Structure 1
Amino acid sequence: MPRRHPRRQAPARRVGAEAGEARFDLTGGVLLGLGAGLALFGITQAQVAGLAAPSCWGSLVVAVVAVALFGWRTVRVAHPFVPPALFANRAYRSAVAVAFLAMVVNLGGLVFVPLLVVDVNGLTPGAGALVMIPAGIAVALVSPLIGRLADRIGTRPLVLAGLAVVGVFALFLSTFTGGGSVVPAGAGIFGLSVGFIFVLTPLISAAAGALPDGQAGAGIGILQGAQFLGAGTGPALFGVLVTARQQSGGDAVNPLYAGHAGAAYSDVFLAMAAVTVLALAVAFRMRPATQGA
């Protein structure tokens, strides 16, 4: 009689183990999304209903709890939604922080320059949108050149130069907009948009080059998430500032601003310049080794 061999069960158990290792941390993702979403909602409610409104402080409290639970879970589960090893890399940490701060300023400019020319200069919304067209054309023309520049001089110098341009034009907007002409507003958003492109494109390359192959996919996903979070945070925070300054009716904080009607917008653009200075301080910590990545 032929000898019968028992079945081997090890491969099935191995497949099960690999499936367990590949599990997606849905709970961690929900906690992070809940914290970020409620934080943004609470900030916008501060603008609409005030800080004392339950919809404002309640959302912010729940957001803090959700983020705290997310951090607690991240360091305790085997495969967290955001791998902690990513943030052990100094260059990557800097890239994520700069991406967030730069997007705060960029989206703030894209939102509040049109509001400025409509609210202060008296343009219609359609005419106000025309102020943004030169900036969009410039970005489309400059973008293809940035990759070649990064290959020649490295990513870090481009990021620093781009942030410097963003800061200068944010200060320009704070100083010269709100008068009888919309030309300063158009020139300001032109420079701010071009400077932002010089930041973002090399930053993605720097972040990808700073990570091992096994972490690059997750790392770029988190970097893009930081951009989206900055895109929501900027208009929300600056909207609260505009509302507060319009209600107070005081003069602009910037002593170089000569107008009065647009003082609230001057303060918003000055705040954008301050955020850019913070981003520059973080970008200086990016290791030169990320250049040419």
Structure 2
Amino acid sequence: MTSNAMQLSEEYSLTKPEQKKIIFLMCSVLLFSVMNGTMFMIAVPDIAASFSLLPSEVSWVVTGYIIIYAIGALMYGKLADIYPLKTLLTIGLSLFAAGSLFGFFAPTFPLVILARLIQAAGASSILALAFIVPSRYFPQERGRMLGIISSTMAFASGVGPVIGGFVAGALNWQYLFLISAFVMFTIPFFRVWMPEEEKRRGRVDIPGAVFIALAVASLILFITLFVWWYIVISIVFFSLFAWRIFNSDIPFIHPDLFRNAPFRTTIVAGFFAIMTMMGTMFIMPLLLSEVNHLNTLLIGLTLFPGAMAAAFMGRWVGALTDKQGSKQVIYIAFGLMITGFFLISTFTGSSAWVISMVLIITFIAFPFIQTSTANLISTVLPRNEIGVGMGIYNLFNFMSGAFSGAIIGKILDYESGVKLNPFSIAQGHGISYSNVFIGFIVVTILNGCLFYFSFRRMKV
């Protein structure tokens, strides 16, 4: 065990029942946090119909949420290095519940958007702190706990569209807000079960936080809207942020963090891996709708077995990470991703049940890559930088999802009659979908080579 792990285990000597309570609570609220995003993606057409909105207008239900969620994940990560997790979770869950209740009663579209922004400001705390809790409270079983966290995320991503489609169809899209409001009932349990912590030394560099928040927001707006002046604004604020961290006594992110080669390599590898995984989750509903002609409910049911498989694999993946090490599990994840992408590319156009079975391989790669990269980051960073390091990790994951959605959307605008996969049975526009997954394979192979040679050179 590392010195960091020994120090943490001595500071928080939790019993097995206490550990189970904490991880159960974190997974419960993480389920609501992740589902909240996927449920509303399904409900976007219904919201547009309710307020007679154009697609560009209603898209802010998703875009606004993503921007605040991504920024919040970074901010809460930084705050976790200074303030007690119990305090941050109480604030975050309160905002999440308040935004949910406000959204349920919101009579106009601008108030719906405001409710979504409040939700995101609170829900992002759950994502950020869920990856910090295992490192802080379970150092000896960090991999196993991260596996449970990752499998919960995979399960929530898969079950969200099913629940969202059912609730929006059977009741109304407003009731999706009400589902998320149930997190308020977990706050008293967090107050009682989470360990007591003292505020650590340090404070937040407010100008630096503002610069990075505006830079990230502008970049996401550029990615999702393709308005060129957003990228100019983003470059300006990233430049100001870079200047600030080198000229402040208390930088928001210490420059030495970016000089940590293993951290940089893991962030880059995670970015491209999650980009292809999120791209798969983005593309599959489109593929199943356009090629297989399925409705929303059947699309959700087709994705559900993969999500369940990922959920069941999480605990085992975490134990494997603790036993074999993060790097070995990352290589396994790359292998699963390549295999899954090739099979999806090959069987695009097949019956929905065939696609559903093939997707299982790709979905189970999610806890492999998420658990191993998060665990590796927590081992290569000093204790006082794990929070902000995880914040950067989560931010890059969100950015990768935004990038993949924007790039894939543009690629699918064009027809392709050339099959990059000679074994593919795809026809018509299905060929474009098949080719995208071949592109994912190329990205994964290059990513794997970069990760392998980088770590071999560093000898970590």
TM-score by length of 1: 0.79
Judged with a 3 Å threshold, the aligned counterparts in structure 2 of structure 1 residues 251 and 58 are, in CA distance, closer, same or farther, namely same
Contact residue 421 and residue 435 of structure 2 kept, 8 A:
no
- Determine if the alignment matches structure 1 residue 84 to structure 2 residue 255: yes
Stretches of structure 2 that go unaligned for 5 or more consecutive residues are 1-200
Residue 174 of structure 1 contacts residue 254 of structure 1 at CA under 8 Å; is this kept in 2? Answer: no
| Residues 1:145 and 1:66: Cα distance change in structure 2 (over 3 Å) | same
Q: Which structure has the larger Rg over C-alpha atoms?
A: 1
| Structure 2 counterpart of 1:44 | 224
Q: Determine whether 1:229 maps to 2:399.
A: yes
Partner of 1:254: 420
Match of 2:202 in 1: 22
Work out whether 1:277 is the aligned partner of 2:445: yes
Shift of residue 214, structure 1, vs aligned partner: 2.1
What is the aligned residue count? 256
Report the equivalent of 1:50.
Answer: none
1:114 and 1:131 in contact (8 A); partners too: no
Which residue is 1:186 aligned to?
A: 356
Structure 1: distance between partners of 2:439 and 2:421: 14
Q: For residues 252 and 127 of structure 1, do their structure 2 counterparts lie closer, same or farther at Cα, with a shift above 3 Å needed?
A: farther
Q: Find the aligned partners of 2:350 and 2:310 in 1 and give their Cα distance.
A: 27
More helix by share: 2
Distance change >3 Å, CA 83–CA 254, structure 1 → 2:
same
Is contact 2:345-2:421 (8 Å) kept? no
> Which residue does 2:43 correspond to in 1?
none
Tell me, in whole angstroms, the C-alpha distance in 2 between the residues paired with 1:267 and 1:124. 24
* Partner Cα distance (1:171, 1:64) in 2: 37
Asked whether the equivalents of residues 113 and 185 of structure 1 are also in contact (C-alpha less than 8 Å), the reply is no
Match of 1:207 among 354, 367, 377: 377
Match of 2:282 among 108, 111, 134: 111
For 2:341, the aligned partner's letter is A
Query: How much has 1:184 moved relative to structure 2?
Result: 4.2
d(CA) in 2 for partners of 1:191 and 1:124?
A: 23
Which letter maps to 1:136? A
Gapped regions of structure 1 (runs ≥ 5): 1-20, 47-55
Matched, 1:59 2:237: no
1:33–1:242 CA distance, 2 compared to 1 (3 A):
farther
Structure number with greater CO (CA < 8 Å, separation at least 6) is 1
Cα distance, 1:253 vs. partner? 5.0
Give the root-mean-square deviation of aligned CA atoms.
Answer: 2.2
The Cα of 1:156 is off from its aligned counterpart by 0.5
The TM-score with structure 2 as length reference comes to 0.52
The code of the aligned residue for 1:35 comes to A
Runs of 4+ in 1 over 3 A off after TM superposition: 286-290
* Matches of 2:419 and 2:255, distance apart in 1: 41
Instruction: Tell me by how many angstroms 1:136 deviates.
Output: 1.0
State how far apart, in whole Å, the 1-side matches of 2:328 and 2:405 are: 28
Task: Indicate which of 138, 150, 154 corresponds to 2:309.
Answer: 138
